[in-house]
Amino acid sequence: MKLKKLLEDLDYSVLQGNDDLEINSIQYDSRKIQKGDVFFCIKGFNVDGHKFISSALQKGASAIVCEEYVEETIDNATVIKVEDGRKALALCSANFYGRPAEKMKIIGITGTNGKTTSAFMIKSILEEAGYKVGLIGTIANYIGNEKLHSERTTPESLELHELFKKMVDKGVHYCVMEVSSHSLSLNRVYGVKFCQGIFTNLTQDHLDFHKTFENYYGAKLELFKNSANAIVNIDDSYGEKILSDVNNRKLTYGIHKNADIKAEHIEIHPRGAQFKILYGDIYENIDLQIPGNYNVYNALGSAAACLNEGIDINKVIKGLNKVQVPGRCEIVTKQYNLGFDVIVDYAHTPDGLQNILETAREFTKGRLISVFGCGGDRDKTKRPIMGEIGAGLSDVAIITSDNPRTEDPDKIIEDIVRGITKENYIVIADRREGIKKAMEIAKKGDVIVVAGKGHEDYQVLKNETIHFDEREVIAEIVKELF
Ligand SMILES: CC(=O)N[C@H]1[C@@H](OP(=O)(O)OP(=O)(O)OC[C@H]2O[C@@H](n3ccc(=O)[nH]c3=O)[C@H](O)[C@@H]2O)O[C@H](CO)[C@@H](O)[C@@H]1O[C@H](C)C(=O)N[C@@H](C)C(=O)N[C@H](CCC(=O)O)C(=O)O
Ligand SMILES: Nc1ncnc2c1ncn2[C@@H]1O[C@H](COP(=O)(O)OP(=O)(O)OP(=O)(O)O)[C@@H](O)[C@H]1O
Ligand SMILES: N[C@H](CCC[C@H](N)C(=O)O)C(=O)O
Ligand SMILES: [Mg+2]
């Protein structure tokens, strides 16, 4: 491809060389550069990508895209100046892969909680309607049934457009993707047009990155600047704010407030939830296999997006009925006769933890035992709040480690414990031992909620990432104890 073609529709100036150059590929990491590649300089949080220009040139880069001219930029390399390296990377990645996003319909979901669950629901509905669906999200990326490893919730723009291209090549009609607030702030989805954008909710998370709630909200709002339709949870106070801040076509959903799409006669039970969906003259029964009032919200938002796409209500009903999401309120002890149940859930925010514990409480006959921690190198301010909620809503809380990453696990636990006002907690830093303790003390009728890691099959420690799949760990403990 010619450099000029790569830069199509981009505002740029040529500082050196010329743009009529044949290029090989593009990279934003100098370590991956091969002969003939274009190196994009990104000013990062840790380092400034402009520092790696000479190393990229040594490896054979034939062009540099930068925000500022750097002296060492020499010889016969072409130097292109742009205003914003991350935006340029996003637009050029789309050009490089032949603008695959324009060849599919893309549904984006943003919000603190419920993105993964909603993405699975939408995929299930659209497949029921006969479409080939791609999914991009936290658990994995999917092209139909083919599962691809996902490094993050929303990939960097270069990897994103590469994935879009693979989807288009494999005949995907619809791509449903989780759009994280990080990806919106860092322009990973810059230039991507969404046919439907869903806002699930906004509660505390990621303040380490966004610093203030206003910034966090502002990041989420970005999605709606590029979506033809805004599907908004009107029961969330920030949902109301989105409605007044965006000019798109809007469709609201909710349970309490007056919404376009509503749920009525909700019944939650241990294995699922039932409700009536009300939209215009549609008034039908929905039967979910996953419990929790919050999943009624996820189902409403997903149904709204699909109905707005013209999908038949019967397909919506069937799709929602089938959906299962790994590590989201997953009862992992169904096959044993222990007298108590163990649930693995991905709740890692105050709101998520409150939701799963309140949901589990509704079907707990005995005591509710929780096992949870908080991730290291992430929002520290949520730790005491999760401590208070976790211990407050449980009969016994076992405070343990999540992914400590580079932090000292005991310090993270101290932050959590600082918020606890009851005496009903035990500290066991080793997560496996924490889960084991819960299973040792559990009696008939009790429910154990192991929160925070859900589908993850690893634990990130200071110096290593170890294999840690809670389903396997719990099965091993069952063998040891019973
Ligand atoms: C906070 C955050 O999102 N950081 C992202 C950001 O990193 P950064 O700005 O710090 O990059 P940097 O390390 O300073 O490097 C700057 C530039 O120099 C380049 N470089 C660096 C070294 C070198 O030798 N040569 C070189 O060229 C780097 O490739 C980069 O382009 O840009 C990098 C390049 O795209 C990302 O890899 C990195 O994601 C990190 C790994 C990350 O962990 N992100 C998480 C927090 C995240 O995005 N999470 C959300 C989920 C949140 C949710 O659950 O809602 C997600 O979407 O997954
Ligand atoms: N609509 C919702 N409102 C509040 N809590 C929810 C909602 N949906 C799910 N949860 C809770 O949050 C946890 C994470 O859900 P899910 O994985 O669907 O969210 P997510 O937005 O994709 O999270 P992440 O940003 O980490 O990818 C669940 O395990 C559950 O405890
Ligand atoms: N996407 C979330 C995942 C948190 C999962 C939890 N297990 C943790 O490690 O904190 C994040 O990066 O903040
Ligand atoms: Mg997710």
What CATH number corresponds to the domain at position 208?
3.40.1190.10
From 152, 177, 456, mutation site for ligand 1 pocket: most ligand atoms within 8 A of C-beta: 152
pLDDT of residue 270: 79
- Collect the ranges in the chain with pLDDT lower than 50: none
CATH number for the domain including 25?
3.40.1390.10
Domain boundary among 45, 66, 96: 96
Say yes or no: 457 and 372 in one domain: yes
Say yes or no: 272 and 349 in one domain: no
Q: Ligand 1 centroid vs 317 CA: distance in angstroms?
A: 39
* DSSP label at residue 59: T
Residue type, 194: F
Q: By residue range, what is the domain housing residue 291?
A: 100-322
Say yes or no: 210 and 293 in one domain: yes
- For ligand 2, atom 5, name the residue with the nearest CA: 352
pLDDT of residue 124: 98
Q: Ligand 3 centroid vs 117 CA: distance in angstroms?
A: 15
- For ligand 1, atom 41, name the residue with the nearest CA: 152
pLDDT of residue 7: 98
The first and second tokens of residue 137, run together, are 């999200």
The bound ligand whose nearest atom lies closest to the alpha carbon of 352 is 2
Query: Is 312 strand, coil or helix?
Result: coil
Q: Ligand 2 centroid vs 145 CA: distance in angstroms?
A: 22
- For ligand 1, atom 10, name the residue with the nearest CA: 45
Say yes or no: 86 and 42 in one domain: yes
- For ligand 1, atom 12, name the residue with the nearest CA: 44
- For ligand 1, atom 8, name the residue with the nearest CA: 44
Domain boundary among 77, 96, 115: 96
Q: Ligand 3 centroid vs 348 CA: distance in angstroms?
A: 7
- For ligand 2, atom 16, name the residue with the nearest CA: 114
Domain boundary among 269, 295, 322: 322
Residue partners of 463: CB distance under 8 A and separation at least 6: none
Contact 154, 160 (CB under 8 A): yes
From 346, 357, 378, 456, mutation site for ligand 2 pocket: most ligand atoms within 8 A of C-beta: 346
Q: Ligand 2 centroid vs 112 CA: distance in angstroms?
A: 7
Residue type, 387: G
pLDDT of residue 73: 57
Of ligand 2's listed atoms, the one at least distance from the Cα of 203 is 4
In order, the DSSP letters of 351-384 are: HHHHHHHHHHHHT-SS-EEEEE---TTS-STHHH
From 109, 117, 325, 449, mutation site for ligand 2 pocket: most ligand atoms within 8 A of C-beta: 117
- For ligand 2, atom 9, name the residue with the nearest CA: 114
Q: Ligand 2 centroid vs 69 CA: distance in angstroms?
A: 43
Say yes or no: 59 and 75 in one domain: yes
Say yes or no: 233 and 180 in one domain: yes
Say yes or no: 399 and 361 in one domain: yes
Of ligand 3's listed atoms, the one at least distance from the Cα of 378 is 13
Residue type, 426: I
Residue type, 298: N
Q: Ligand 4 centroid vs 115 CA: distance in angstroms?
A: 5
pLDDT of residue 411: 98
Per the structure, how many domains does the chain have? 3
Q: Ligand 3 centroid vs 102 CA: distance in angstroms?
A: 31
Cα torsion 326, 330, 335, 336: sign: positive
Straight-line distance from the first to the last Cα atom of the chain, in angstroms, rounded to the nearest whole number: 63
Say yes or no: 208 and 308 in one domain: yes
The bound ligand whose nearest atom lies closest to the alpha carbon of 403 is 3
Taking a 5 Å cut-off on Cβ, the residues next to ion ligand 4 are: 115-116, 138, 178
Say yes or no: 228 and 163 in one domain: yes
Contact 23, 6 (CB under 8 A): yes
CATH number for the domain including 360?
3.90.190.20
Say yes or no: 252 and 216 in one domain: yes
pLDDT of residue 71: 67
Pocket of ligand 2, beta carbon within 6 A: 113-117, 138, 153, 178, 200-201, 294, 297-298, 328, 345-347, 351-352, 355-356, 454
In order, the DSSP letters of 196-216 are: EEEE----S--HHHH-SHHHH
By CB neighbour count within 10 A (0-12 exposed, 13-18 middle, 19+ buried), where does 151 fall?
exposed
The first and second tokens of residue 288, run together, are 């979910």
Say yes or no: 164 and 305 in one domain: yes
Say yes or no: 377 and 440 in one domain: yes
- HSE-up of residue 198 (Cα within 13 Å, Cβ side): 33
Q: Ligand 3 centroid vs 111 CA: distance in angstroms?
A: 14
- For ligand 1, atom 32, name the residue with the nearest CA: 44
Of ligand 2's listed atoms, the one at least distance from the Cα of 346 is 29
